Structure 1
């Protein structure tokens, strides 16, 4: 039964049309080279507007993201297809040569989530003790699971620490709102990457080499796409997505038959979405070694990027800005938490001279997981989207352990 909603527009077909018009308007205005819009997009990234306008529509009650099935469709169908199409032109060897800084920044993000939970708990205890009294620490463990791994890890923490349903719902709201605010910050920072990289003194040679190789290949094989090209691109993208779904279900069913003491669910190996993302990315990378790679010249990654922008809009329509005022101190806890995470990421980026790309994607691979890490990565360049996916998959493996340790620390502080 669909959720009850009071939104002005409840028909998903109409909502999809509204989102499409929104994306079209953003792209049209951002393409202006003179006048107000040229000055506006000098300071506000177009990708951020694709995310923020649906959020404002949701907040105003015009649409209701929670009552819409569009996000599920975009996540399950368009995201895997986009990953396949963005991976087709990737130079896998160059991807592997990006170096250890990406992993260092990702692990720093994980530590930042764990440390941020402890600092936020103690800070709010000083500011407003009632907010963290009682069982609040239990709810925080579910956010830790989500921000290090993903939904499966979040659900695991709910069961491990026996989180009450009402408390769980409150922290789901904190998770969604704060994570979306942070994603908006990262998208804004992405437009300032050059200034950030000058500040850190980052070595961009490996990233630039990868982007240059992709651009060179695309230029050498560029052609005006015909209907045949477009249909082949869609056949590969959607066909690989269908294959990923087809293989994910029996894989999860088979894993469920393995001994329970192996605790494979701790690695998200019993999550269907996990396998869909892994399989789609793998198929895309394998296709990059075949003649399918030539479809990049006909715009395969462009179509993949369009799919990602639709996903961005559906993510944005889940953000309710009014929620900031419902339980302000609970959200203050979340904001302090994410600020510690972000501060630690900035410090590490400066210490090891990491590019903003590694910091932003390493952070989002933790906080947002595979559904949004490639979005942030593609804000730098479509060819870099697979980096976000690979790091997010690592987060699934670490999520349960990191969140469990965080839960033990919070329990000791609370009791």
Structure 2
């Protein structure tokens, strides 16, 4: 439905429109009374951040394909967001959760990777046209989103060169299927006692964790100053600059290697791939230093703000009319998430893990930092940071695991 000449062509005006959209979405979603409370019970804010720019693009108000906003957000804001989302990782806190919490989180990650392969092969039998052609490329973006989050999803879009229309179709599958699964987890949370009796779980660690978190929140609560915010930006954008600087020499070195190694088949000749890898790796290394204290100044919040600007610029490239062409993709998504859920349920029963670990471990993968705290707080409000903690670990793993899964899918599709 995109017209030949969009109504708005000035990128400064387009940026203002996107910023206004994001501001309105977050302002209305923060209201917890009346109409908006009921509205956001059913419509996730993240969906609107994608959907409203996509509607404007579909009906010719803006034209994402000719805008320079997305390349800027992709090359500068995305790496900075990855750094700031990885810096707060506290591996000691994760270890203190006990091995079962980490096992369930990693089981969820394995379930996403396995589910991608199973659903791809299943749809080859049920409806081969669904997974024909370049579909595997789009599946890599969901893998990135369901293990990490929007930053990893966008990274896979670039690394595997996913077409904007195909990406838009998979974003719709991602949001719909992920929110159905979130509803299932919240339903189970209301029946946690019965579930834990069935698995024979020991809840003493959960109860002790509630106490520790409440004490930590009371001790470290603070209001960031301008200096704090500038330091956070210095770390995020500084590491982004370093990542760009290192990428050039690495690509030159790779270009000198024998052509018959076909390194381009593994995206190793992609500049964006190395920028993302460097940003993620440096973010992880910084998490072992005093830089982790930047979370008190809102490091992950600033990183998330950068991420949502990227989300809006991605949305403005989508043509929603393409969704009706691929309805079978939703069945692929349901099979995929069923494999993930089935594997989690099996391991939960085998190791007698509390439902809390299963639900948060799953949502930290599938929903990321945006919704993992929601599921965690369904068990107890003080446990919401646990969801964030595991979700941030997902940001670190998402790029690597999605890349490996993408290579497998490409082999299956060949």
TM range (shorter): 0.7 to 0.9
Measured in 2, the distance between the counterparts of 1:52 and 1:323 equals: 13
Measured in 1, the distance between the counterparts of 2:244 and 2:55 equals: 33
Q: 1:83 to 1:356 in 2, by over 3 A?
A: same
Measured in 1, the distance between the counterparts of 2:210 and 2:263 equals: 36
- Provide the residue aligned with 1:7 in structure 2: 6
How far the C-alpha of 1:198 sits from its partner, in A, is: 5.5
CA-to-partner distance for each residue in 1:22-44, whole Å, 9 max, x for gaps? Answer: 11111221222322112222333
Measured in 2, the distance between the counterparts of 1:37 and 1:192 equals: 22
Measured in 1, the distance between the counterparts of 2:370 and 2:75 equals: 15
- Provide the residue aligned with 1:393 in structure 2: 400
- Provide the residue aligned with 1:165 in structure 2: none
Measured in 1, the distance between the counterparts of 2:314 and 2:210 equals: 27
Aligned residues: 371
SS in 1 for 2:31: coil
Mapping for residues 62-101 of structure 1, pairs under 5 Å: 62-95=61-94, 98-101=101-104
- Provide the residue aligned with 2:269 in structure 1: 270
CA-to-partner distance for each residue in 1:228-279, whole Å, 9 max, x for gaps? Answer: 2221111111111111111122223223333445554454333322222222
User: Does 1:402 pair with 2:409?
Assistant: yes
CA contact (8 A) 1:153 1:268 kept: yes
Measured in 1, the distance between the counterparts of 2:279 and 2:212 equals: 23
User: Does 1:110 pair with 2:113?
Assistant: yes
- Provide the residue aligned with 1:334 in structure 2: 329
SS in 2 for 1:111: helix
Q: 1:61 to 1:259 in 2, by over 3 A?
A: same
- Structure 2 gap ranges (5+): 145-155, 349-356, 376-386
TM-score with structure 2 length normalisation?
A: 0.74
CA contact (8 A) 1:81 1:241 kept: yes
Q: Over aligned residues, Cα RMSD in angstroms?
A: 3.8
Mapping for residues 102-251 of structure 1, pairs under 5 Å: 102-124=105-127, 137-140=132-135, 142-143=137-138, 150-151=156-157, 154=160, 173-186=165-178, 189-190=181-182, 193-197=185-189, 201=195, 220-251=219-250
- Structure 1 gap ranges (5+): 126-130, 156-167, 365-372, 409-415
Measured in 1, the distance between the counterparts of 2:138 and 2:46 equals: 26
